[in-house]
Amino acid sequence: MISYFIRKIILILIIGILKSQQIPYGIPMYNKFDLESIYEYQTFVPSNFPQDLSDSIQPFFHLDRKYYFLRVNFEKELAINFLLNKSKISDGMELFFINEAIDAYVGPYTKNILEFSNMSSSGQIRSNSVLVEISIPTYESPNIPVDQIINYDKSKKFSLENDFKRNMHRAPNLKILLSGYWPPSNEAVRRFSTNPLLNPEGWIGENWEESGYDIISYFPSFLPPDCMNCGQGNGDFEVDYQDFSEDWWNVVDTINPAAIITFSRGFMDNSWELEWQYFNSINWVPDYTPPYQPTPTPPDSLVPFNTARYSSLPMDSIVNAIQYANLGLNPYIDYMSGAGNFLSEFAGYHGVWYKAIMDSAHLPLYSAGHVHVGGLIDWETAQEAAKVTLREVIKYVDLFRDLPGDINDDGIISTLDMIMILSHILNFTQLSQNQFQNADLNFDETLDIYDLLLLSNIILEN
């Protein structure tokens, strides 16, 4: 019996060590090759971006893989994302987008990552030149899985097959929910609290930066405020499973958020760690007040225990934006483990769990996920990094809200959208101005059978 318990303790310790390690999920190989010779003739702009790599580019070979490099130039520095075509990403493909000016990149993008994360575009890069790296096994045929380059600076999209343009119309003042607990995570979101006792300097979240979003935060308080061994705290979202969960469902039902970012304190360093996956666990670190475990355990009855749910934050864009902001932080994505089996994972899971519920009801909740904030980050820097993160989430949500053909604004193009167009054509209902804009797919300022046909083609292609 003693031997059994010793083995179990050793196993728990080993699992804890493995979970604390951060293993790179993939790095580009561009700096392993001499690319100078290809720059003269491998320069592209959106209008002549190649679709068939085998005819236009000679690969570099390394071990059992071949690497293709394309350089995309712009007339000036732009903030851009690449809209990805998942059907063109093969089982063995890895895709990176590289900003050589600051030695930064977003990726890798693989078939597995895109399926699990539900991403439709790359992270954002701000540059006048982007190096695209595509690698595949030597036996595969190459292609480029990119449909559009999205330019946020001009709020328009460059199509790689046709020049597809449209204006952006947003319903004002959707809500974005932020939460935090141990400092500096609660201090990072304090100025977005509507509670004057917690935020005596005043709420800055109303139509924040004229974005059309109200940002609202909730968090507990601690004594002293810069505590190290902080305990449970007092107020909203305390470090207690039952208190957090009760507050959570009340808050989301009240504000109906379009996006959710939960924050918590992570390692005692200067990291900005984005968590990719969260588990419906049955083994949680005990909290401070009985019952010490979540009730029920596992918390989510919709899926089997230990099922993973995944972040839908624009993680690559956030990492790149934090790097570009020069805040002295170390941003990265943890692809390898969960979020720690304590309140961090519990909070993160609640966010992605709620998004799954909204998705199943075809209701708009566009993005949810968790950020671990390094415990050595000063409060001012943490506040600025939270704002940088928030700006990227708003851009991402805007991309979904501006999806052509998404009439009911649920982030999905489906037969429900076709029914709404048909109802409008038959004068059963009237679409709003924004709905009309999304439904007018051929831009002739009329809704008719041609828009229905275009929408049906989009659904069939997807």
Distance, in Å, from the CA atom of 73 to the CA atom of 63, rounded to the nearest integer, reads 30
Distance, in Å, from the CA atom of 320 to the CA atom of 334, rounded to the nearest integer, reads 15
- Quick one: average pLDDT of 416-436? 84
- Quick one: average pLDDT of 154-168? 33
User: What digits encode the pLDDT tens for the residues 305-351?
Assistant: 999 999 999 998 999 899 989 999 999 998 878 898 999 999 999 99
Task: Report the relative pairing of strands 174-179 and 259-265 from DSSP bridges.
Answer: parallel
Q: Which helix (H) or strand (E) holds 262?
A: strand 259-265
| Residue, of 337 and 203, whose pLDDT is higher | 203
461: how many CB neighbours lie within 10 A of its CB? 9
- Quick one: average pLDDT of 380-406? 88
pLDDT for the residue 348: 97
Q: Look up the pTM and report it.
A: 0.66
pLDDT for the residue 385: 98
Whether 383 shows a pLDDT value over 60: the answer reads yes
- Quick one: average pLDDT of 36-63? 64
Annotate 379-430 with DSSP letters as a single string. Answer: HHHHHHHHHHHHHHHHHHHHHHHT-TT-TT-SS---HHHHHHHHHHHTTSS-
Peptide linkage before 364 cis (omega within 30 of 0): no
Lowest mean pLDDT among 121-135, 214-228, 334-348: 121-135
Domains by residue range for the chain, with CATH: 30-159 (2.60.120), 174-401 (3.40.630.20), 415-461 (no CATH)
User: What digits encode the pLDDT tens for the residues 399-422?
Assistant: 776 667 778 776 678 888 888 888
Which segment, 147-161, 349-363, 444-458, is predicted with the most confidence on average? 349-363
Residue pair 352/312 in contact by the 8 Å Cβ criterion: yes
Whether 55 shows a pLDDT value over 80: the answer reads no
Residue 115 is given by DSSP the state H
Residue pair 178/117 in contact by the 8 Å Cβ criterion: no
